[in-house]
Structure 1
Amino acid sequence: MTQVEFELACAALKQLKGPVSDQDKLLVYSYYKQATQGDCNIPVPPATEVKAKAKWVAWNQNKGMSRMDAMRFYIAKVEELKKKEAAQGL
């Protein structure tokens, strides 16, 4: 996997028309952050900030994952979402 393939997957994700589940959004977000920034480097948001906390938890679960592995998982997830959308005929 290369940086170019990762960037193409980032662009492809923006082109999806169908609904993406919150769980899939968090997974894609967590791989993107791990691939672009490495391990989670921000403090835990307060529990009252539900969305921010969910994003933090998702990203932090990838702690120790290499950037290249995160790119691979990101690309694979985007491909899965593209296939799901194609199967729905959107």
Structure 2
Amino acid sequence: MKANTLEEAVALTKKFTSKPSNEELLKVYSLYKQASEGDNEEERPTGFDFVAAAKYNAWLALKGKSKEEASSDYVELVNKLSEKYI
């Protein structure tokens, strides 16, 4: 089963039977945010919320990537991960 659109790829992630690594999850998250919202314009998280900071930084690293390119990269990554986690 391969996803062709952002929506299909999101649905495919819900079928994963085991959890991807934190690094893989950050990549999936950041590509999804870039594809759906564009550049990260949110405030940097403060304090000791390391998960929020990692997510913020992963998304910020994609600044300037078009929504279309991020969407394509997201679908490609989810299809690749689905081979390991479904």
| TM-score normalised to structure 1 length | 0.87
Checking the alignment, whether the CA contact within 8 Å between 2:38 and 2:66 is kept in structure 1 is yes
Partner of 2:83: 83
Partner of 1:28: 28
Bigger share in helix: 1
Deviations 1:2-56 (A, max 9, x none): xx71100110011111221000000000000000000001011125110100000
Checking the alignment, whether the CA contact within 8 Å between 1:5 and 1:75 is kept in structure 2 is yes
Q: Percentage identity across aligned positions? A: 35
Checking the alignment, whether the CA contact within 8 Å between 1:47 and 1:53 is kept in structure 2 is no
What code does the residue aligned with 2:17 have? K
Partner of 2:73: 73
Runs of 4+ residues deviating >6 angstroms: none
Listed as ranges, the gaps of 5+ residues in structure 2 are none
Deviations 1:35-81 (A, max 9, x none): 00000010111251101000000000000000000001100110111
SS at match of 1:15: coil
What code does the residue aligned with 1:59 have? W
Correspondence list, 1:6-25, <5 A = 6-25=6-25
Listed as ranges, the gaps of 5+ residues in structure 1 are none
| TM-score normalised to structure 2 length | 0.90
